Amino acid sequence: MKLLLIPLLCLLLAGCSAPAVHSAEPAETLGTSQEIAASLQQQYGSTVEAVSLPLASVQQMWSTDTGILLQSGQELILLDENFQPAASCTLDFIPQIAVSGQTVSAFDPVTRQLLLLTASLQETRRLTLPPELSGAPFVTSDGSAVFYCTDR
């Protein structure tokens, strides 16, 4: 009797599993930037706006007091209120960026270098932080103080 229960239980469990779903429909493509902009305009009206950016690949964007900051690898570009380039700089490392008030900080976790930049991306200070640093540092909005955590 016990030998008969095992195959019946297997058949019951196999019959209860959900069948695999296969779709013959092609994946949706995004289309051109104009098509994407038109689609966003149609869906959201003036709430969402698509703009053409001066970089081929934007990894991150931040809102600053003076515009929008874009990062693409080592390159930073500040856009004005009309989405036109207002300032730019190319760093010698790929930074972790933080924006606080009028200060933009660019941190290199490999060398522990911290660059303090003005809102127009001009370097004001370069600091080397101690080896016991853990994570990324925090810079006050006026750039006068740097805070960081340690593992100890």
Q: Which band of pLDDT confidence, cut at 50, 70 and 90, is reported for residue 131? A: confident
> For the chain, what percent of residues have pLDDT higher than 70?
78
What average pLDDT does the segment 93-98 reach?
92
Closest CA to 109 of 59, 78, 63, 148: 148
Q: Which of 45-59, 69-83, 94-108 has the lowest mean pLDDT?
A: 45-59
Residue type, 31: G
pLDDT at 18: 45
CB 115 within 8 A of CB 122: no
Return mean pLDDT, the chain. 78
Output 10 or 139, whichever has higher pLDDT. Answer: 139
pLDDT at 116: 93
Evaluate if residue 95 carries a pLDDT over 80. yes
